[in-house]
Copies of this chain bind each other. A is one copy, B any other.
Amino acid sequence: MKSIRVILVLMFTQFALHNATAQEKEQMVRMAKLVIDSTQLEKYKVFLTEEIETSLRVESGVLTLYAVSEKERPNYITILEIYKDVDAYKAHIQTAHFLKYKNGTLHMVKSLELIETHPLMPNVKLIQKD
Chain A contributes a number of interface residues (CB within 8 A of B) equal to 35
Is the pair B116, A71 in contact by a Cβ cutoff of 8 Å? yes
B-side contacts of A78, CB under 8 Å = 31, 117
A79 to chain B: closest residue by CB: B120
Whether A69 pairs with B126 at a CB distance below 8 angstroms is no
Q: Contacts A125-B128, A126-B126 known; A118 to B80 CB distance under 8 Å?
A: no
Whether B120 pairs with A130 at a CB distance below 8 angstroms is: no
Among the interface residues A48, A116, A117, A125, which one has the most CB atoms of the partner chain B within 10 A?
A: A117
**Is A127 part of the contact surface with B, judged by Cβ < 8 Å?**
yes
Quick check: B70 and A119 within 8 Å, CB to CB? Answer: no
Measured between beta carbons, the chain B residues less than 8 angstroms from A69 are: 117-118, 120
Given A80-B66, A119-B67, A127 contacting B129 (CB threshold 8 A): yes
Which B residues lie within 8 Å of A123 (CB)?
A: 130
| Interface positions of A (Cβ within 8 A of B) | 29, 31, 45, 48-49, 52-53, 56, 64, 66-72, 74, 77-78, 80, 115-121, 123-130
Besides the contacts A52-B124, A69-B117, A70-B116, what 7 more A-B pairs have beta carbons closer than 8 Å?
A: A66-B124, A67-B119, A68-B118, A71-B116, A124-B129, A125-B128, A125-B130
